[in-house]
Chains A and B, each alone.
Chain A
Amino acid sequence: ETGVTQTPRHLVMGMTNKKSLKCEQHLGHNAMYWYKQSAKKPLELMFVYNFKEQTENNSVPSRFSPECPNSSHLFLHLHTLQPEDSALYLCASSTRTSGLYEQYFGPGTRLTVT
């Protein structure tokens, strides 16, 4: 276990549904990230939060909405998704402010959009 947990592990949703992914880190880190992992593609960075402030949004469609209420929790709210959004969504955390770059990943949520 890396100290980063994600729920749910699997999610099937229709295109008109609204759902949320949750991430929690128990490592005392200051930065949290959302990545999308699709087959045969590099990990795609979606959002970065540092001390609860969003510092990066890599041109992600507005149907993905992140929320970071504190430095230990990160959410990804989903609505009106498309089938091409089906992927593994990974959360990661790091001690960004210390100058260290190690990112620790959770197990991911396997999302299927029908």
Chain B
Amino acid sequence: GENVEQHPSTLSVQEGDSAVIKCTYSDSASNYFPWYKQELGKGPQLIIDIRSNVGEKKDQRIAVTLNKTAKHFSLHITETQPEDSAVYFCAASSPGGGADGLTFGKGTHLIIQP
């Protein structure tokens, strides 16, 4: 089955700097890669996703890149703000897998230092 590794587990950056979270996956058939943000006391919220037919997607200060050859994808947050502090999860989806094939990483606790 699919295995998703996520690094780092904790990331502390100064407000205004950029943050990068990286994930690798094992199943070359995976074709959908969402990112979720989870704030304290809330459920995970989908913030951006990318499908295997594109290499990069951007939404304001958030971007995701995908390298299918290397089987890794990354979340980039620019001009970080205090409200970006949260736990971020990556996931990968394999066609025909359970729950639409979503396998999650362990999460990255992003801390924005004022």
Q: Which positions in A face B, CB cutoff 8 Å? A: 2, 4, 6, 31, 33, 40-43, 45, 48, 55-56, 58, 90, 92, 94, 96, 101-108
Contacts and interface: CB of A to CB of B under 8 A. Distances in A.
Contacts, number: 58
A45 B98 contact: yes
Contacts of A6: 43
Contacts of B104: 42-43
Interface in B85-114: 89, 93, 98-107
14 contacts: A2-B43, A31-B100, A33-B99, A40-B106, A42-B105, A43-B44, A56-B99, A96-B100, A101-B32, A101-B34, A101-B100, A103-B99, A106-B43, A107-B42
B45 A105 contact: yes
Interface residues of B, number: 23
B4 interface: yes
B37 to A, nearest CB: 11
Nearest to B102: A103
B91 to A, nearest CB: 8
B4 A42 contact: yes
A72 to B, nearest CB: 17
